Amino acid sequence: MIKVQIAKIRKSGVRTAWEVAEDGSVIRHKHTLCLTFPKKVMEAAEVGTVWNVDGITKSHSFKAGNFEITERYMKVKKSQFLRPSGELLARWIGANIEGVGEVKAKRLIRHFPDLDQRVRQKDVKALSSVAGVSEESARAIIEKWPSESFYAALEWLQNSKLPLSLAQSLARVYDDPVRTISEDPLILTAFGVSFKDTLNIIKRTKLDVRESRVLSAVAEQVAARFCFETGSTVVPEEDIVSGSAAICKTIDLNPEGITDAALKHGALLKVGNGYQSLGAAIQERTVGRLLTKCNERPKGSGSLLAAWEKDLTDDRIEEALNSFEDSLSFRMTAEQRTAVIGAVKSPVSIVSGGAGTGKTTILLAILAVYDQLSSGLAKYQVALSGRAAQRMAESTGRKAQTIARFISDHLGDGKPDAGEHVLLIIDEASMVDLVSAYKIVGILPYAARIILLGDVSQLPPVGGGLIFHAAMDSGLPVFELTEVKRQGKQSGIHQLATAVRKGEMDRTLLNSACGDTRYLPEFSHESLLKEYLKTNNPADCVVLTPIRKGPLGVTEVNKLIQAQYDEFQPQELCYNDPGAEWIPWITSSGTKIRLGDRIMVIRNDYEADIRNGDLGEITDVYTAPQEGVYGVMNIDGKLVEITDETITNIELGYAITIHKSQGSQWPKCILLLPKYASRMTDQSLIYTAITRPSKELVLIGDSALIHSAIKKGNSASKRLTNIGCLLG
């Protein structure tokens, strides 16, 4: 018999597995091991479980594209169940015990079915006999091992067949998850479990739940779905009632008194224009309180480092601004000067302006004035996306980072404070959601100065909330920019963008007199390729589309453009697959990557210093791995090695979604207008796309999409929140 751990379950029911050595390590084989279990034990052979198996093994070969794949198949005759998967426990060990990652933890679990007992016996010798586990690591495991109740909770959560991610979240939040769930199993809905699945868990575990609590959970579920679908943080009562009635009908429950039940059990809170979850209410109140408190802070208070504010006058700000303006080759407009003076004078301010209105110039001026007048002020520049942060850094010549990185650097135990006197500048602030804003204010001190830069006409947050828009309508200082500087007033791009921003549309604007805006009504692959290939440098052009799927979606367009370069750059990016060895890399969208391809980073990787939204090019691909490196990519002028870690973070980047483009700019943009994307396309999406090019905009497809988007308006205006009331 051989010891194995189930790695994957295929649709056919066949299990792929790793062979496990005596020390708990995985024995690497050239060919994948596939197991067919008898029906009576098949259900128990879940991913992660460990078995002793025996049976007849045969080799099976088949073709996958141009490659021949060989696998080992065993029809299991004898099997012995050794232990559950232990995935949750392994994750806990990896997260909580220094020097012992998940790989070593899984090795320990595979080797010792009685791991908990071995640890409680303090058997250092046995634990350190497992490959990779030193005596020091064994002692750390013993010292930091969870209590018996917590260990039991981990096992119970896993054995209850809850998703591992959910089980981990529960174990992280509650000291005794088993008792908590037993007392109130409907809290699972707050962790993303559907109401139906929660009821099934209640039935399976035979837990007793009051009817009013079920009603409360139904209301909470309806509210969560409404907020997820709309981006709102407030739910109107009529939507709760109608949505709850539909759910209650399926479970034979009377929905009468649904909102009273939700209030009674604390699932929802009543606010002026509807109902809120407790979490959303706390987050909005925290953000609103911090912004208001900072704005009303007396000059020089909150920190000794803020003493310079006592001498801050309009005259001193103007003098510093004049000094900065002398270094420019142009004169700032009156509204730009007003915005700079106001933003420096006010502890909290909002600067709003359409694309090309000179927000970068204002930012440079604000920083220059602060440099002259302030002392002891820690300055931070942040933006939502990595590309926007990079553009911010390039524009100002100062460090900028993503909001996620800023939060990661400063929020949590053991993390350094941002400082006791801080200036925080948030670019593309219209896209900052409530959760991010809540985390940010948790970092900021009382003596904080905050500037929100953005454009209410561009895309709202992907997540819930509407901080920037609410701030625009509050009592906080707001400075709006209207004069466009990026393109001249006669620019077709400017005229079209202005019309869309105002909610107007004139077909004549699609083809400008100066030629910087052109419209091709009939979509064809030939017309798209012709326009794209006109650009000498691919880095100067990008295709924008509202969607990922379909003939005008990101995936298909990327394949189409890539195919034009196959003849010249046929070399494919390959990697070292454990099962099939050296094979071409296939991205998550199902495309290969070749030498010379334009690529986009889809996830932040701070170790490699690449960020979500970064664009670049594959500059080298290797014919064999060189010390774990498969090639090289150029990301905005920076050479980055392609490794097992970075290869999963890239996709083709000839075409990107409009959402991904916010915060970036190219000389030429080709905007695709697929009729079938009308449901997800609104005024803000079209406006964002139109304002990305600096020199040339080509529109291809159905212009009716623009009309329907304008008619639909800005989806942000339909979001319901309560933060405006809190900001006054």
Distances (CA, A) of 97 to 101, 136, 247, 419: 8, 11, 44, 30
Q: Which residue has the higher pLDDT, 271 or 21?
A: 271
Q: Taking a C-beta distance cutoff of 8 angstroms, is the pair 101, 94 a contact?
A: yes
The pLDDT score that the predictor gives to residue 537 is 86
CA distance 472 to 294: 16
Residue 728: per-residue pLDDT:
65
Beta bridge partners of 2: 53
Average pLDDT over residues 613-624: 90
Q: Is 540 left (phi over 0), alpha (psi -120 to 50) or beta?
A: alpha
- pLDDT value of position 193: 78
pLDDT, tens only, 518-536 = 999 888 888 999 999 998 8
Tell me the average pLDDT across 389-403. Answer: 90
User: Cα separation of 119 and 71, whole Å?
Assistant: 38
pLDDT: which is higher, 273 or 444: 444
Residue 146 or residue 84, greater confidence: 146
**What's the pLDDT at 154?**
67
The end-to-end CA distance of the chain, in Å, is 72
Q: Are 111 and 130 in contact (CB under 8 A)?
A: yes
* Euclidean distance between CA atoms 164 and 94, whole angstroms: 14
State the pLDDT at residue 343: 94
User: Which pLDDT does position 485 carry in this prediction?
Assistant: 63
> How far is 4 from 179, CA to CA, in rounded Å?
34
Of 148, 149, 129, 151, nearest to 138 by C-alpha is 129
3-state SS string for 693-707: EEEEEEEEECCHHHH
Closest to 614 measured CA to CA, from 430, 427, 408, 390 = 390
Q: What pLDDT, on a 0 to 100 scale, did the predictor assign at position 453?
A: 94
Q: What pLDDT, on the 0 to 100 scale, is given for residue 167?
A: 64
pLDDT at 688: 92
pLDDT band at 663 (very low <50, low <70, confident <90, very high): confident
- The whole model's pTM is what? 0.73
Averaged pLDDT, 220-224: 90
**pLDDT number for residue 53:** 92
Q: Are 265 and 212 within 8 A, CB to CB?
A: yes
- Three-state SS for 27-82 is ECCCCEEEEECCHHHHCCCCCCCEEEEEEEEEEEEEEECCEEEEEEEEEEEEEEEE
Beta strand 448-454 pairing with 348-353: parallel
pLDDT for res 284: 94
Q: Give the range with max mean pLDDT: 6-15, 567-576, 597-606, 700-709.
A: 700-709
User: Strands 2-9, 15-20: parallel, antiparallel or unpaired by DSSP?
Assistant: antiparallel
Q: Is the pLDDT of residue 650 over 90?
A: yes
Letter string b/e over residues 237-265, b meaning 16 or more CB atoms within 10 A of that residue's CB: eebbeebbbebbeeeebebeebbebbeeb
Q: What is the pLDDT of residues 474-490, one digit of tens each?
A: 889 999 988 876 555 57
- Quick check: helix, strand or coil at residue 285? helix
DSSP state at residue 417: P
Q: How many CB atoms lie within 10 A of CB 330?
A: 9
Give the pLDDT score at 513: 83
Residue 214 confidence (pLDDT) above 80: yes
pLDDT band at residue 640 under the 50/70/90 scheme: very high
For residue 380, the surrounding DSSP H or E stretch is strand 378-383
Residue 151 scores a pLDDT above 80: no
The answer on pLDDT for 187 being more than 90 is no
Q: How confident is the model at residue 507 (pLDDT cuts 50, 70, 90)?
A: confident
Provide the residue type at 166 as one letter: L
Residue 425 in contact with residue 363, Cβ under 8 Å?
yes
pLDDT at 164: 56
Asked whether residue 617 carries a pLDDT value surpassing 90, the answer given is yes
C-alpha pair distances (Å), 96 with each of 89, 92, 99, 163: 10, 6, 9, 20
pLDDT-derived band of residue 197, with 50, 70 and 90 as boundaries? confident
Mean pLDDT of the 715-720 span: 87
Per-residue pLDDT tens digits for 295-332:
999 999 999 999 999 999 999 999 999 999 999 888 89
pLDDT of 450 reads: 97
Average model confidence (pLDDT) across the chain: 86
Gap between the Cα atoms of 348 and 478, Å rounded: 9
Q: pLDDT tens for residues 27-43? A: 878 888 999 998 878 87
The number of helices, as runs of H, and strands, as runs of E, in the chain is 28, 26
Q: Render 174-229 in DSSP notation, one character per residue.
A: -SSHHHHHHH-GGGGGGGT--HHHHHHHHHHHT----HHHHHHHHHHHHHHHHHHH
